[in-house]
């Protein structure tokens, strides 16, 4: 039996990447660190492929400009696609218990649906509901 050559993870092309598509379970929360960096926290529900009646939930963190954009344009219920990396952190709670959590650190966030009809875009257009219907084309 021939065993594969062992190489460091970087040489094998192993990367910490994750891509998720789902809906926001709450409005994004924008805050600033003590050092003045903007950070946006979001919660994403992702429906399981084999079991459409079950979802998994992920904490998503977007930093600085990306976070500010998400906070300004997203709201609960919006569909997004997130690409980034998974980060594990541990801390001790106030009561002394040890806690841990995984978060997705977003490198890219794509907005997959339009804002709700009551919102307007930068040009003051309220979206398709305010546009006149197009004339049917005769063939």
State residue 114's pLDDT score: 80
Please give the angle made by the CA atoms of 125, 127 and 129, to the nearest 5 degrees. 120
Tell the CATH topology of 13-115: OB fold (Dihydrolipoamide Acetyltransferase, E2P) (2.40.50)
- Taking only the tens place, the pLDDT of each residue in 113-128 is 887 655 544 444 333 3
Residue where the block lists tokens 């997959």: 112
d(CA 78, CA 20) in angstroms, rounded, equals 14
> Residues with Cβ < 8 Å from 109, sequence gap 6 or more?
60, 62, 66, 69, 70, 80, 81, 82
pTM, rounded to two decimals:
0.71
- Taking only the tens place, the pLDDT of each residue in 45-74 is 999 988 888 999 999 999 999 999 999 999
Identify which of 54, 32, 52, 51 has the alpha carbon closest to the alpha carbon of residue 41. Answer: 32
State residue 113's pLDDT score: 87
CA distances to 6, 9, 12 from 3, rounded to whole Å, are 9, 16, 15
State the CB neighbour count (10 A cutoff) for residue 49: 6
Handedness of CA 78, 79, 81, 86 (dihedral sign): positive
To the nearest whole number, what is the mean pLDDT of the chain? 82
């Amino acid at each position: 039996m021939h065993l594969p050559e062992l190489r460091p993870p970087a040489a094998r092309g192993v990367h910490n990447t994750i891509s998720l598509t789902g809906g926001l379970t709450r409005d994004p929360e924008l805050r600033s660190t003590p050092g003045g960096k903007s950070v946006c926290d979001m919660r994403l529900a992702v429906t399981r492929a084999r079991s459409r009646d079950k979802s998994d939930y992920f904490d998503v963190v977007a930093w600085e400009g990306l976070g500010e954009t998400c906070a300004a344009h997203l709201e609960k219920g919006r569909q997004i696609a997130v690409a980034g990396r998974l980060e594990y952190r541990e801390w001790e709670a106030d009561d002394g218990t040890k806690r841990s959590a995984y978060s997705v650190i977003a490198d890219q966030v794509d907005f997959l649906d339009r804002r709700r009809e009551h919102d307007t875009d930068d040009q003051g257009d309220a979206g398709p509901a305010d546009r006149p219907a197009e004339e049917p084309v005769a063939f």
